[in-house]
């Protein structure tokens, strides 16, 4: 094994480069992994383009799949050299932990052995999505886990159903006994229905009109909304679609102004967001916000990953559609893919690159 390896780093605001650096050093509870495939997420390009410049010098990327090269000290899960694994790592957290490189160090509690029915390319798409679904649907909205589904199904609206997180969320919510409504572009309607969505609505429809359609469909009884592509307008749409006669809950993935939701519908009494990075159980900063360590999030995430591994192996949860090596393979391909993602050229699929 060469003492150095190549990886994608943020070198200036909005700029990346492939640098040759020492192979990351193992830490307590971590695994050293030879990367076989990586997948791209919006958080990757957003970190690189953060106007504060706080991520300059950091190694990018959160989602990967690969082969265990070495097991670090104090690892308690039964991983061994040669295991095929996937999971989430702390992209842009520092100069060592990002996924976009030939090697990555990964915390054991957020990694699983890849089920035999998944390729490296497919498994690489799961990291951010699985972690976020666990936090958003089960920690925040407090849906029942798939092992104990609702006995009397209720509707849930998943805004941004064609995002990778939305695609996974539709399947998990259905397994938990929810009747899933989603928003997407019309060309994704049939795909989302094949995953378990009961009905899909065109998110291009004007907000008030779309809210009326959803409210009529649910007979004004919608009490859960989960926003996977949050903006102030999507938050307002979800609030208006939720019941105005029963208390409702709205969860999303960014720290937007909660007053937008409350002003649109005072019956929405639970409003908040989740941040995938809290699953690492350590304090961190993103933009102007500082987040305290949440050990309980790390514990929950570890358990949810194990639960998800079984559902994936059983074929009850399927990965999103993937597009492999758009613009070229390897780390150069990753850099081009990040540009496509930022420019809004990706819909209903996940960009994956072989390393």
Nearest in space to 274 (alpha carbons), one of 246, 296, 305: 296
Can you spell out the DSSP letters for 19-44?
EEEEPPPP-TTEEEEEEEEEE--HHH
Q: State the residue for tokens 């990075």.
A: 277
Two tokens at 259?
């007053």
B/e letters for 170-209, b = 16+ CB within 10 Å, e = fewer, are: bbbbbbbbbbbbbbbeeebbebbbebbbbbbbebeeebee
Q: State the residue for tokens 């160090």.
A: 105
Domains located in the chain, CATH noted: 4-126+319-354 (3.90.180.10), 130-277 (3.40.50.720)
Burial (Cβ within 10 Å: 0-12, 13-18, ≥19) of residue 89: buried
Q: What's the pLDDT at 285? A: 87
CA distance 325 to 137: 31
Q: What's the pLDDT at 247? A: 98
Q: What's the pLDDT at 1? A: 62
Q: What's the pLDDT at 34? A: 98
* Whether pTM exceeds 0.85: yes
Alpha carbon separation from 107 to 42, 170, 279, 282, 297 (Å, rounded): 22, 27, 11, 12, 14
Q: What's the pLDDT at 287? A: 77
Per-residue pLDDT for the chain (355 aa), expressed as one digit of tens each? 669 999 999 999 999 999 999 999 999 999 999 999 999 999 999 999 999 999 999 999 999 999 999 999 999 999 999 999 999 999 999 999 999 999 999 999 999 999 999 999 999 999 999 999 999 999 999 999 999 999 999 999 999 999 999 999 999 999 999 999 999 999 999 999 999 999 999 999 999 999 999 999 999 999 999 999 999 999 999 999 999 999 999 999 988 888 999 999 999 999 999 999 999 999 998 878 889 999 999 999 999 999 999 999 999 999 999 999 999 999 999 999 999 999 999 887 999 999 9
53 Cβ contact list (under 8 Å, min separation 6): 12, 13
């Amino acid at each position: 094994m060469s003492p150095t390896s190549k990886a994608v780093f943020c070198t200036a605001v909005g700029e990346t480069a492939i640098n040759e650096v020492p192979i990351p050093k193992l830490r307590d509870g971590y695994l050293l992994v030879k990367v076989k495939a990586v997948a791209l997420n919006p958080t990757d390009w957003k970190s690189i383009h953060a106007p504060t410049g706080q991520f300059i010098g950091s190694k990018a990327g959160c989602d990967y799949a690969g082969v265990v090269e070495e097991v670090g000290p104090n690892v308690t899960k039964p991983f061994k050299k040669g295991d095929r694994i996937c999971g989430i790592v702390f992209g842009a957290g520092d100069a060592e932990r990002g996924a976009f490189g030939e090697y990555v160090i990964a915390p054991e509690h957020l990694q699983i052995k890849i089920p035999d029915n998944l390729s490296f390319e497919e498994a690489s798409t799961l990291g951010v999505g699985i972690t976020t679904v666990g936090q958003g649907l089960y920690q925040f909205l407090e849906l029942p886990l798939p092992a104990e589904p609702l006995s009397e199904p209720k509707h849930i609206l998943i805004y941004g159903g064609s995002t990778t997180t939305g695609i996974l969320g539709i399947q998990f919510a259905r397994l938990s006994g929810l009747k899933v409504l989603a928003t997407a572009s019309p060309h994704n309607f049939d795909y989302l229905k094949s995953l378990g969505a009961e009905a899909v609505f065109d998110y291009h429809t004007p907000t008030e009109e779309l809210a009326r359609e959803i409210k009529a469909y649910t007979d004004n009884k919608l009490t859960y909304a989960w926003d996977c592509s949050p903006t102030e307008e999507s938050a307002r749409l979800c609030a208006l679609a939720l019941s105005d006669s029963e208390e409702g809950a709205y969860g999303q993935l960014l720290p937007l102004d909660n007053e937008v939701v409350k002003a649109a519908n005072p019956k929405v009494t639970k409003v908040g967001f989740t941040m995938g990075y809290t699953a690492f159980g350590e304090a961190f900063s993103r933009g102007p916000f500082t987040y305290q360590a949440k050990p309980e999030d790390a514990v929950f995430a570890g358990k949810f990953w194990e639960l998800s591994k079984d559902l994936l192996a059983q074929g009850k949860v399927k990965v999103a559609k993937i597009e492999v090596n758009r613009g070229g393979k390897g780390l150069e391909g990753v850099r081009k893919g990040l540009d496509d993602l930022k420019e809004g050229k990706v819909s209903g699929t996940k960009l994956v690159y072989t390393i």
